[in-house]
Each structure stands twice: as C-alpha cells, then as structure tokens.
C-alpha cells in the first residue's frame, strides 16, 4: 500500500437500528494528489462511506462494521479518533451541524485550539485559511448571520486550518451560488494538484467533471455500480438519475419517449396586474439590516401574484433568504411594509401567515424535531386546525410526492441529509398553504428525486403560487415562469426566464453562471418558444 492515502477493502456497515446494510462490499484506493468523485442517489450510502473513513463509524454511529480501511498506511482500527481527525478533514453536508463558534475567527480557531497550538500559530493559520478560501472579509462576522453558502466556506476554512493530508467533502456545493461553487472547485483542484487526497461526494456531477476528477465511484443501493475514469461513467450512468451535460442528454433522450408537459398550478388561471387582481404578497419600499450589516435589503418593490412560479437567484449573501423571511413574517421591515392579502405583517403572527405561506427552510435541522416522519408531517396541519381524517390524507400524499413511502415510522433526524430535506418539504406540503416558499429545495438531492418531486409540486392543485430560492439555474430554466435576480440587497432583474437569463455578461456580474442547459435553450428558443428540459428539447429538435 505504498503511496496510498485511502485504502478501503470489502467494507460493509449496518446501522444498529437497521436490518439491512447501508453499504456493502465497497473497495477502492486513492493516492495523494488524486480527486475521487463519489456519486449516487440520496440515501445510497455515500455519507455512510465518509463516516467509515473519518472514523465516526463505529465510534459515534454504532452498528456492525466489516472490512478494512487504512489511512496513510495505518489501519483506522488502531488509530484514536483524535489522530484520525488530524489526518482526515471532513466538511459536512449541512454546515449548521459543524459550526460552533459565534464568530468566524473563533470557528476557524476551534480545531487548532483543541490541538493545543500556541496563539501565534493559531492566528497565522486562521489568516492563511481565510485567505485561501477568499473570505478574509468574513473574519469578524457573527456566524449566525451568515448565509448558508458563507457558512459552507467557513466550515471548509476551519477544516483546512487543521492542515489534513486527506479531505472528505460531503456535498460541498449544495449551498453555494454558481460563482462560489466554481471558486470552491478551483480551490479543490488546486489542493489536489498540491498533493492532497480529496474524496468529494456531490450530486452536481456536471460541475465536478469540469475539474477533471481522477476517479469516479458510483454507488447504487449501498454497492459499487461503477469505479473508474470519467469516460466510463457516461457509458453506465442513467441520465435520469445523474445530471449530465445537456448535450449528452440530448443525444440519449431521443431514444426514449418524450416527457409529459407539466400542468403548472392547474387550479390557477393567471390573472395579470392589468385586470385588477390584487397581489397575494406585496413589498413596498422595504429596507432591512442586521446590526453588523446594515443594508441587507434596500428599496425592495416586489409582488407575488396568483399563478407565479418564481425562482430567486443571486450570490450568497445577496439577501434572498432575508427577502423570503420578510414574506413569511419571520422578519419585519425596518422601513416600508410587507402586505399579505392586503394586511401588514406587523399585524400578523407567524402562525397566521402560515395559513397563506408555507416555508421550507434551507437547513432541515431548523425544522425537524418530531420522533417520526409521520408526526413531523402531521404537526403543521394539526396546529392549523385541519380535521383528523384530512390530516392523514394530507400526510400520506405529501410522503408519496417526496418519495419517502415506507419511512413514516422512522426518526427524521436519523435519515440522510437529502431525505431530511424531503421531509421538511413534505411537512409544508401537508399544511396546504396557498403559497409554497422553498429555500434551496434541491440541496442534497439526487437529480431524479428532485425532478420527480418538483414535477409533482408544481402540478398540485392547492397552491396559488410557488416561490423558490435556488443556486441551480437549471431549476429556474425548467420550472419558473418568472425569475428574480438579487444583488447586494436589491432586486436587479425581474421577468420571464428567457428575458432575464439571456445576457451572460450581466449574469456573471451577479454571480450567476450560465449552464449547458441554459445555452441549449437559448439556441433553440426560435423553435421551442419557451424554456424546456433537455429531454423535451431532444424530441422538439427532430419533430
């Protein structure tokens, strides 16, 4: 095993509370200076594999572990967890679970202080890590007020400050805007080229392929389905399950039946402003700032109408989540006002707002608390006073929509991050609010799962409007009939997708990066007349 950083041989693990293994018979090796991409559906065992390599299994997560794992030639069975953590750095899927410090500098220093380093060395490493990630400007910020993407970068800085030999990244791009994701991938490639061994779990396969991973490990149902070079992945992967470049999908989809047209918000006949139809939600000259960042929202004029499916795009920290929290009454404007059905949110409780707007938080850990998935989904409808028979129907329908049938009796927080995200979405679906608001609904989701539940959500008859924050521009391309772009606390563009997303130079200035699907749609717009998924464009091309 000379010159092998990570060696895994016939590893099988079954969680103590489960009857079947989460992973089974997995073997591979990765050298220093190599990048391995680990791909597969949500819940297939990717995070379990990461926990085996960083020693959390079986020390923190109990169960039956078989097989062998070596780090730098040393069996992890013979290494204390403290030593493993010096060799192996891990960035978790949900940064909320990793960040403990109240300020960024304290968070980055946390691991170093536990190593017992002197103050001058700690200060030097903090500055080196922040400079490396490009977030020196966040040094003195409170971690609580950071955006999800900023928290992800801080978590990475805290791990890099420890100077590990091996880096495990579990969905590092999930909360990042496109430019930040590209920057992170560039940093990962740089670390690999400098000799670090990196294993990256990621659903955004198309993005990772751009930095030339040395190996790809594709896991299905806990077992290795493919291991090898990127070129071989295209031959074995199902394009419905793993998101591939649009041109690759275009070539394959022509062999399959065309996708069905979506009947978006079927119960709503679109009412334009000219007809006098009142807005469901209205922002009037809204201004808001936190204590340390006084201008998070500025001069916001914004309305949500019946029939809107709105995608909100923009950089990390642009104010997207703060805008949405005003819509649901969690935050109140310092200046201006927000009206829901004509009533100022200052006069409404959060519970009253919830009857109109249901909100899915970016982090599932901010929502989930019940002992079972069923109880989690029943909580909202119960508090809204829905009849018992109706609640059961709402819960079971929501579970089916997010593809979690059979998980009703399981504890939500025992599920994978992607499954937890779907539970949080289902919890709001079960409430039957008139407007569905989702913050990063596809974070931690495999391609097929998020396409399936988004297809189902936009066609539900009970919603009058849908709004979602996303860094996945393709989600906006496929599902939105309106795109709102935010930059530095202001709305800088608002209109139809083909109008807002056609100026690539302007998009890049707002930290939005054009994708292969957007380019393909713009090329084919004279034929299609509207934005479509690649599978539909494939059949349109030959019709």
Q: How far apart are CA 166 and CA 29, in angstroms?
A: 13
Cβ-Cβ contacts under 8 Å for 130 (sequence gap 6 or more): 104, 108, 136, 138, 139, 157
User: Which runs of consecutive H residues, i.e. helices, occur in 194-262?
Assistant: 205-209, 230-236, 246-253
Of 185, 215, 237, the last residue of a domain is 237
Answer whether residue 398 is part of any domain: yes
Q: Is residue 300 in some structural domain?
A: no
Q: Provide the residue range defining the domain that includes 426.
A: 369-432
How many residues belong to the chain? 543
Pick the closest to residue 92 from 417, 381, 382 (CA basis).
Answer: 417
Both 85 and 228 in a single domain?
yes
| Rounded-to-integer distance, Cα 463 and Cα 103, Å | 40
So what's the pLDDT on residue 354? 87
Residue 252 is assigned to a structural domain of this protein:
no
User: Is residue 232 domain-shared with residue 377, that is, in the same domain?
Assistant: no
Give CA–CA dist 406/408, Å, rounded.
6
Is 233:218 a contact under the CB 8 Å cutoff? yes
Radius of gyration of the chain (CA): 23
Give the chain's domain count. 2
Between CA 43 and CA 446 the distance in angstroms is: 9
Looking at the domain assignment, is residue 179 inside a domain? yes
| 158 shares a domain with 17 | yes
| Residue 363, in any domain of the structure | no
Q: What is the pLDDT of residue 150?
A: 86
Where does residue 295 rank: exposed (0-12), middle (13-18), buried (19+ CB within 10 A)? Answer: middle
Element (H, E) at 28: strand 23-30
Tens digit of each residue's pLDDT, the chain (543 residues): 568 999 999 999 999 988 999 999 999 999 999 999 999 988 899 999 999 999 999 999 999 999 999 999 999 988 999 899 889 999 987 777 788 899 999 999 999 998 889 999 999 999 999 999 989 999 999 998 887 778 888 999 999 999 999 999 998 887 788 888 888 899 999 999 999 999 999 988 888 999 999 999 999 999 999 999 998 988 898 888 888 899 999 999 998 998 888 889 987 855 444 456 789 999 999 999 987 667 899 999 999 999 999 999 998 889 999 999 999 999 999 999 999 999 999 999 988 898 899 999 878 888 888 999 999 999 999 988 899 999 999 999 999 998 899 999 999 988 877 788 889 989 998 998 899 999 988 877 788 888 988 998 898 888 899 999 998 999 999 999 999 999 999 999 999 999 999 999 999 889 899 999 999 999 999 999 999 999 999 998 655
Q: What is the DSSP letter of 40?
A: E
Instruction: Tell me the C-alpha distance between 142 and 139, whole Å.
Output: 9
Residue ending a domain, among 194, 217, 237, is: 237
Q: Identify the residue whose tokens are 């953590």.
A: 85
First to last CA, the chain: 56
CB-based contacts of 10, cutoff 8 Å, min separation 6: 25, 26, 27, 66, 67, 68
Q: Please report the pLDDT score of residue 271 as a whole number.
A: 47
Q: Are the C-beta atoms of residues 416 and 42 closer than 8 Å to each other?
A: yes
* pLDDT for 293: 63
| Residue after which a domain boundary falls, among 432, 459, 487 | 432
- Write out the two tokens for 155: 């978590």
Element (H, E) at 65: strand 63-71
Give a yes or no: residue 63 inside a domain.
Answer: yes
* Domain of residue 180, CATH code: 3.40.50.300
136 in a domain, yes or no? yes
CA dist 512 → 299, 315, 450, 508, 534 (Å): 22, 7, 21, 5, 20
């Amino acid at each position: 095993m000379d010159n092998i950083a990570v060696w895994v041989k016939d590893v099988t693990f079954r969680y103590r509370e489960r009857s079947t293994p989460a992973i089974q018979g997995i073997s591979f090796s990765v050298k220093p200076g190599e990048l391995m991409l680990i791909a597969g559906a949500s819940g297939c065992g990717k995070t379990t594999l990461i926990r085996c390599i960083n020693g959390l299994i079986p020390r923190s997560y109990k169960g039956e572990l078989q097989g062998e794992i070596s780090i730098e030639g040393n069996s992890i069975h013979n290494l204390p967890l403290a030593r493993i953590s010096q060799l192996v750095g891990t960035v978790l899927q949900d940064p909320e679970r990793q960040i403990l410090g109240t300020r960024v500098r304290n968070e980055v220093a946390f691991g170093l202080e536990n190593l017992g380093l002197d103050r001058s060395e700690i200060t030097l490493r903090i500055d080196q890590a922040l400079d490396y990630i490009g977030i020196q400007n966040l040094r003195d910020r409170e971690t609580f007020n950071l955006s999800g993407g900023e928290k992800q970068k801080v978590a990475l800085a805290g791990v890099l400050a420890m100077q590990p030999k091996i880096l495990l990244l579990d969905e590092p791009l999930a909360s990042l805007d496109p430019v930040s994701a590209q920057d992170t991938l560039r940093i990962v490639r740089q670390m690999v080229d400098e000799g670090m061994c990196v294993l990256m779990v990621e659903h955004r396969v198309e993005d990772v392929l751009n930095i030339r991973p040395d190996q790809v490990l594709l896991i299905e149902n806990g077992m290795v389905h493919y291991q090898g070079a990127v070129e071989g992945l295209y031959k074995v992967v199902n394009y419905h399950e793993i998101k591939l470049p649009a041109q690759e999908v275009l070539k394959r989809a022509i062999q399959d039946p065309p996708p069905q047209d979506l009947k978006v918000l079927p119960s709503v006949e679109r009412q334009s402003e000219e007809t006098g139809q009142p807005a469901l939600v209205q922002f009037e000259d809204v201004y808001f700032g936190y204590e340390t960042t006084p201008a998070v929202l500025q001069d916001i004029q914004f309305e949500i109408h019946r029939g809107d499916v709105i995608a909100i795009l923009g950089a990390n920290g642009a104010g997207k989540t703060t805008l949405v929290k005003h819509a649901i009454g969690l935050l109140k404007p310092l200046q201006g006002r927000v009206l829901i059905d004509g009533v100022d949110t200052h006069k409404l409780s959060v519970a009253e707002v919830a009857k109109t707007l249901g909100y899915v938080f970016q982090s599932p850990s901010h929502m989930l608390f019940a002992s079972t998935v069923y109880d989690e989904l029943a909580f909202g409808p119960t508090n809204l006073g829905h009849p018992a028979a109706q609640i059961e129907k709402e819960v079971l329908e929501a579970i089916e929509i997010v593809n979690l049938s059979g998980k009703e009796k399981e504890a939500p927080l025992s599920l994978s991050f992607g499954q937890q995200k779907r539970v949080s979405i289902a919890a709001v679906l079960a409430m039957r609010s008139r407007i569905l608001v989702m913050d990063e609904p596809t974070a931690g989701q495999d391609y097929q799962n998020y396409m399936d539940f988004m297809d189902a959500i936009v066609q539900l008859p009970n919603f009058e409007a849908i709004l979602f924050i996303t860094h996945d521009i393709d989600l906006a391309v496929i599902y939105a009939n309106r795109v709102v772009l935010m930059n530095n606390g202001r709305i800088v563009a608002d209109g139809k997708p083909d109008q807002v997303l056609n100026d690539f130079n302007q998009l890049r200035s707002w930290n939005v990066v054009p994708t292969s699907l957007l380019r393909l749609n713009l090329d084919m717009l004279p034929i299609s007349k509207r934005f479509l998924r690649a599978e539909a464009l494939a059949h349109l091309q030959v019709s």
